[in-house]
Structure 1
Amino acid sequence: MIVVTGAAGFIGSCLISSLNKKGFRAIVAVDDFSNEEKNKNLQEKQIIERVDRDDFFGWIENNQKQIEFIFHLGARTDTTEFDRELLWKLNTNYSKKVFELCTLYQIPLVYASSAATYGLGEIGYDDDESRLSELKPLNPYGESKNEFDIWVLQQEKKPFFWAGLKFFNVYGPNEYHKGRMASVILHAYHQIEKTGKMKLFQSHNPAYKDGEQMRDFVYVMDVCSICLFLMHHRKDSGIYNLGSGRARTFKDLVLAVFNALEKKPEIEFIPTPEDIRDKYQYFTEASMTKLRSIGYDQPFTELESGVVDYVKGYLSKSTYY
């Protein structure tokens, strides 16, 4: 059995679809299944069992001999969440228990970290484990992820294989339920369809022109490909960046959406809200050297190609992957 936590979520549900396509059908889905909108992500997926996240630890103890691999992708992912107690419960402490059980039963594990751990990128975006304690996340969400990464490295006993993945700006199908936390592509699609134009934040940094703030956008299909690679690889444990390795501007991204919709570009720039202005990231770019060094050699999807596939293959049809 392959276990996916956060199974009904964006990345988790896409991973299950990729696993199914590769012939893996003994999938156990773990999540809080109370959100009906989110549960639509699991329609037509081949899953043998659904386990509520509150019952997961006992389920592992009862089924540990049948578990081949765990992908722990479940978390509270809202970067605007400031309830530290909730974040530490769902992100840090829950993950510690998963890691301890995987260690006890020697179950290989891949878990979701986040590029939010890098903060403003004061020391860059290199996945150097020796510098985790120097990172300065901008919000409690990033702190909860970084605290877990640090804790993992401090453990004397670990699963025989484990990997933490620092997701950068992931986009793609199955994020319909995410509301304001969905990718800019989803918001651009709806805004352009409704109004014919797209609003982007102005730059308040003289080093960047309006719309030229940069992010490392990575297509969810590439994320799934890397997860499958690690499931088969099962060596070289550690914490890895997961981006495309190439920063692109928000203007590039929005122009790609206009192109996919075959509409004339019209972009309006609005002031960045003052409450987030001093914590706004102007540049993120994953160093992917470490992942490449252990043998992952697949090319990453170009932003324009990924946007076309997402818009034409999924958003315009309201379909799921």
Structure 2
Amino acid sequence: MLKDKHILITGAAGFIGWRFTKMAARLGAHAIAVDSLPHFLSHAEHLPWPDGVAMLEREEISDWLAARPKVDAIVHLGACTDTMLTDRETFRHLNLEASKTLWRFATEKQIPFVYASSAATYGAMESGFSDEPRLIPSLEPLNPYGESKQQFDLWVLEQLHLGSTPPVWSGFKFFNVYGFGERHKGRMASVFLHAFDQIRQTGKVRLFESERTDILHGEQKRDFIHVGDAVSVLRFALETPIRQGIYNLGTGQARTFNDLAAVAFRALGVPSSIEYFQMPRSLSERYQYFTQADLSRLHSVGYKSAFQSLEEGGGRYMRQLLHFAETGTAPELFD
């Protein structure tokens, strides 16, 4: 159903945005990819780009929208995602105001709008993780990034109350997304990528110690979701429209960092060797020991596809990284 549709994709040179853009182009959509132009060619894992993808400088998007271009849907994945950054003005400009502009355009044009929220909005919560709309105002994010995502979610709910929405819209609280194409994220890349590099360089994986007596080192848990599964949900949101709502996007199954390391060692054929170290004080004050998406509402609107297990998705990712490291060519992503 994406074939021949003109889809505006922000953050298209980013991790999830790039993967969605490739998928959309593969299905015959006319992808209008928005990002900082140098980023399109500076991320080696993303090359080559599919034929027919139109690239647009993100600073020019307001003028481009003002020209009333043909757009059939917006997938808004562009954002500043650095959870360690403390500059609230940067987050306000990139994550809040830019998002409002695109929402208003989708509302005016009456086209579908899909956007990325974040599990960072849940803050220090370690149970529940419910995406029920009535609970969203009570969430307390731990960092400016999470705050900016929470602010837009709340603004969206205000627009819903005012009746000022696109005809079809959905926001997704991404949990811990991993997979090929994230190396440009540097320190913000998944632990899988850091594990791959560490094993190749030292034969070991370094994980944070636990500062809690009830949780052993490496037994901190996250809901790790493969990027391919995340993109499948975004596709579902466009092809089988979710009429309105903010939804969790994880697997619904938390796994430990020790589990993740075991998958990496096994995939690379290296004996397990984990070194635990003390996390920085600046991080320990806002560290989550457990996250797990409640997918009840996503399932209730019709998404039934199974998610890859950590062993399946993580093992595939390790093999793809190894292929790229040894050949310099991107692996096949769609099978």
**Correspondence list, 1:147-296, <5 A:** 147-155=151-159, 156=162, 157-296=164-303
Q: Does 1:107 align with 2:111?
A: yes
**Correspondence list, 1:91-106, <5 A:** 91-106=95-110
- 3-state SS, counterpart of residue 286 of structure 1: coil
State whether residues 123 and 135 of structure 1, in contact with CA within 8 Å, keep that contact through their aligned partners in structure 2: no
Q: Which residue of the partner structure matches residue 3 of structure 2?
A: none
Write the distance in 1 (CA, Å) between the matches of 2:110 and 2:152: 19
Q: Does 1:144 align with 2:151?
A: no
Write the distance in 1 (CA, Å) between the matches of 2:266 and 2:123: 32
State which of 128, 138, 157 in structure 2 corresponds to 1:134. Answer: 138
Deviates more, 1:187-196 or 1:129-138: 129-138
Deviates more, 1:221-230 or 1:52-61: 52-61
State which of 1, 25, 30 in structure 2 corresponds to 1:20. Answer: 25
Q: Give unpaired runs (5+ residues) of structure 2.
A: 1-5
**Correspondence list, 1:34-53, <5 A:** 34-35=38-39, 36-38=41-43, 41=46, 43-53=48-58
Change (3 A) 1:194 1:40: closer
* Runs of 4+ that moved beyond 4 A: none
Write the distance in 1 (CA, Å) between the matches of 2:283 and 2:210: 13
User: Offset at 1:278?
Assistant: 2.0
Amino acid of the structure 2 residue aligned with 1:116? A
User: Offset at 1:122?
Assistant: 5.7
State whether residues 260 and 312 of structure 1, in contact with CA within 8 Å, keep that contact through their aligned partners in structure 2: yes
Write the distance in 1 (CA, Å) between the matches of 2:178 and 2:71: 29
Q: Does 1:57 align with 2:69?
A: no
Q: Give unpaired runs (5+ residues) of structure 1.
A: none
User: Offset at 1:233?
Assistant: 1.5
Q: Aligned-pair RMSD on alpha carbons?
A: 1.5
Amino acid of the structure 1 residue aligned with 2:96? T
State whether residues 142 and 286 of structure 2, in contact with CA within 8 Å, keep that contact through their aligned partners in structure 1: yes
Write the distance in 1 (CA, Å) between the matches of 2:105 and 2:91: 20
User: Offset at 1:216?
Assistant: 0.3
Write the distance in 1 (CA, Å) between the matches of 2:108 and 2:127: 35
- 3-state SS, counterpart of residue 166 of structure 1: strand
Deviates more, 1:284-293 or 1:55-64: 55-64
Amino acid of the structure 2 residue aligned with 1:302? S
Write the distance in 1 (CA, Å) between the matches of 2:51 and 2:290: 39
Q: Does 1:9 align with 2:14?
A: yes
User: Offset at 1:129?
Assistant: 1.2
- What CA deviation, in whole Å up to 9, does each residue of 1:255-275 have, x standing for no partner? 000001011000011112122
Write the distance in 2 (CA, Å) between the matches of 1:230 and 1:300: 16
Amino acid of the structure 1 residue aligned with 2:147? E
TM-score, length-scaled by structure 2: 0.92
